[in-house]
Amino acid sequence: MTTLILGILALAVPSIGVIAQELAEEGIIAGRIFLDSNGDGIPDPDEAGIPEVTLLAEGQGVQITIQTDQNGDFSVQVPLGTWTIVPHLLDEYELVGPETQEVILAQPENMEAYILFGYKAIETIDETVDDPVVPEETEDNSEEELEDPGTSDEAENPEIEDPAEDDIEDDIEEQDEGRINILPESGAIFPRPMIAFVILLVFLLGLGLVLLSAFISGRQLK
């Protein structure tokens, strides 16, 4: 009986040693993804975790996909060595701090690593510009000014007619039409037929005087 127990122990001890060695060659990477409202990179009590966020652990020639729980926490057991943790980007959120983090797991002290990723909502700028409200009175005044810009000038600077200019223009027109004649010296106005008649009368009178003088001279000679 004793021999049997010793034989079983001899077979079990090596298996236990192998299992212990395998367990000693693995470490744990844990952490949390949270909503970092103030952007300081530290999870505050009022900053909740973000659930169902996917992360990728790369190291030792393998890739391991991790997902956060309902509280935003995650944990994965991986072989010892250097690992790079990359969280997936989220719509309408941006990472606070580096987009990747590197951890080194090694015996005997660095068997576990804890990392944090903070996300902050992306601030959007409203580019919509409201149309300026223009008072109706201002629009009416501007329209009136644009309709007839010369009206105000005419009202402010009315044209003064010169009666002398009008008389001269009328006289020139009447001369061109051949109806009247102007004598600038006297300022008298006569019809052209009357002027011709006066000239003829003067000529006849002069001729008569000449004939009369000649007749009187002839009688005196007789």
Which residues form the domain of 101?
Answer: 18-121
Residue 22 maps to a domain: yes
Residue 7 maps to a domain: no
Of 125, 122, 67, the closest CA to residue 94 belongs to 122
Instruction: From residue 56, give the alpha-carbon distance in Å to each of 18, 29, 43.
Output: 29, 12, 21
Return the residue matching tokens 């006289």.
171
pLDDT < 70: residue spans in the chain: 1-24, 124-191, 222
Type of residue at 58: E
CB 100 within 8 A of CB 17: no
pLDDT at 1: 52
Tens of pLDDT, residue by residue over 130-143, are 565 666 665 555 55
Q: What does DSSP assign to residue 107?
A: T
Residue 84 maps to a domain: yes
Is residue 128 classed as helix, strand or coil in its secondary structure? coil
* DSSP H or E stretch at residue 167: helix 163-177
Same domain, yes or no, for 115 and 187?
no
- Indicate the number of domains in the chain: 2
Residue 150 maps to a domain: no
Q: How far apart are CA 114 and CA 64, in angstroms?
A: 16
Write down which residue in 103, 121, 139 finishes a domain.
Answer: 121
3-state helix, strand, coil in the chain (%, to 5): 40, 30, 30
The CATH number for 71's domain is 2.60.40.10
Return the residue matching tokens 């402010």.
156
Type of residue at 3: T
Residue 164 maps to a domain: no
- Please state the pTM of the whole predicted model: 0.47
pLDDT at 90: 85
Record the tokens describing residue 134, joined without a space: 């223009």
pLDDT at 215: 82
Is residue 221 classed as helix, strand or coil in its secondary structure? helix
pLDDT at 21: 46
Backbone angles phi, psi at 50, to 5 degrees: -105, 115
Determine how many CB atoms are found less than 10 A away from the CB of residue 43: 17
Tens of pLDDT, residue by residue over 140-173, are 555 555 555 555 555 555 565 555 566 666 655 5
